[in-house]
Amino acid sequence: MDQPPPPIKTKFGSRLRRLRKERGFSQEGFAEECGLDRTYVGGIERGERNVGIENIERLAFALGIEVKVLFEFGDDD
């Protein structure tokens, strides 16, 4: 029997973590750049948070990408 795909919060968090690390941000530095709390960003990356659209926009802006790129999940996400 096939396994269901991971929840979208988990996939989004993994994607965010990968993009953040690719750009050389620490979690704390990235959170500061976004104007968000480090524990909130950590919760997003662990798939524990249901992120609002305005915060998704903040995350994308801090990464220098379009919002849609955060949702381009691959096998690593």
**pTM (predicted TM-score):** 0.90
Q: 1 in a domain, yes or no?
A: no
Q: Which two tokens stand for residue 75?
A: 């096998």
Q: Which two tokens stand for residue 57?
A: 């926009």
Q: Is residue 54 part of a domain?
A: yes
Range of the domain at 24: 8-71
Domain count, the chain: 1
Residue 2 lies in a domain: no
Q: Is the pLDDT of residue 1 over 90?
A: no
Q: In angstroms, what is the C-alpha Rg of the chain? A: 12
Q: What is the pLDDT of residue 75?
A: 75
Q: Where residue 47 sits, what CATH number does that domain have?
A: 1.10.260.40
Mean pLDDT of 39-67: 97
Average pLDDT for 22-27: 98
Each as own residue / partner, the long-range contacts of residues 35-40 (CB below 8 Å, 24 or more positions apart, any chain) are none
pLDDT tier at 2, thresholds 50, 70, 90: confident
Mean pLDDT of the chain: 94
